Amino acid sequence: MSKPKYEEVRFGYQLPLNPWDMILDFAKYCEEVGFDAAVMADHTVAFGIKRFDSLEAWTVLAALATQTKRVMLGTVVSDVHRHHPAVLAQMVTTVDIISRGRAFLGVGVGEAMNLDPYGVPWDKRVTRTYEGVRVIKMLWTSDERITWQGRIFKLEKALLQPKPVQKPHPPLIIAANSPQTLRIVAELGDGWIPLFLTPEEYSQRLAELRGMARSNFGRDPDSIIPAYYTYCVVSKNPEEARKAIEIPAKMYLIQAPELLKKFGVEISDEYRITKIVFNEETVKKMLGEAKKVPDEALEGRFICGSPEDCIEQIDAYIKAGVRFFSIPLLVRYEQMKDTLKLFANEVIAYFRGLA
């Protein structure tokens, strides 16, 4: 395999959600070994089998800002339902100031597990997200008081001070898989982060996004950072890696029922990521449904195997356009540091021409 030098490609490690001492330890270590970002999922509860522990993401990131020096710090992804967009804008600004310009904000339309059990309204979720992103960007960039009326949100002589360190503002990366959310990215996003896509699907969707940004909104499409979120297991033993990723990946895929129809598998819409609420009962059902997912559905959607396997798979995504990877490493916590080091020393180093 020829060795490309993709110096512009960045790698983010998705931190655990609890406990704090472990989050801190792994964040400092991923910075030490060469990751570019330490990323938090912004959840009220964690994806779990028996436990669903989760600390609040932006509180954690503010603390990490005082304990790290180089890595970018942000979420994949927050929503504008649990936090009013003005409050979320202030939270991110605070982390950007504490970290001296290292914050980024990922935003998505929301997940039922974080909202429904707590009575948080999120009807008209695409409209809420679109308006929320507009409000955040207005407050980050305007030195004047803003009066603005949307369908969901309203500003009346609103002003956010101080401003973020980064100019014009911290990167705002939008999770988008549907045509409606892709349009939000095309108009307002500094980056795009989908999931479940093969490199071929990613390339097609990125071309669609760039065309929409240029023709519909007069934007430079190259100004939008192409990112990707996917599970990863890297190991010197590729068979162990494939075994480790199988069940989590299949549980992930049943949350996209339309995708599995391509493989002749019918999954109830109740398991869709925007509808499923994680608890002991639903997880048990999901484990049963995951058995329906054929192994071939996993091919090309996750990063898995030996370092050489992972390099080949990541290279395919880079050729498809990806420039930022947000990666949860699916290994036991006692193996995490060794896995972070292996990924950094053999995979990241390869793409930087160091290995």
In a domain, 18, yes or no: yes
In a domain, 24, yes or no: yes
In a domain, 259, yes or no: no
Separation in Å, CA 295 to CA 48, 71, 94, 284, 298: 22, 35, 44, 20, 6
In a domain, 276, yes or no: no
Q: Catalytic amino acids?
A: 43, 111
Q: How confident is the model at residue 74 (pLDDT cuts 50, 70, 90)?
A: very high
What are the phi and psi torsion angles at 219 (to 5°)? -95, 155
pLDDT score at 355:
60
Integer Cα distance of 268 and 279 in angstroms? 17
pLDDT score at 7:
76
Please write the tens of the pLDDT for every residue from 206-243.
Answer: 999 999 999 999 999 999 999 999 999 999 999 999 99
pLDDT score at 2:
44
Residue 180: domain span = 10-233+304-351
CA nearest neighbour of 125 among 68, 186, 82, 73:
82
Q: What average pLDDT score do residues 312-326 get?
A: 96
Number of structural domains in the chain: 1
In a domain, 142, yes or no: yes
Q: pLDDT at residue 5 above 60?
A: no
In a domain, 1, yes or no: no
The rounded percent of the chain whose pLDDT value lies above 90 is 92
CATH number reported for the structural domain that contains residue 24 in this entry: 3.20.20.30
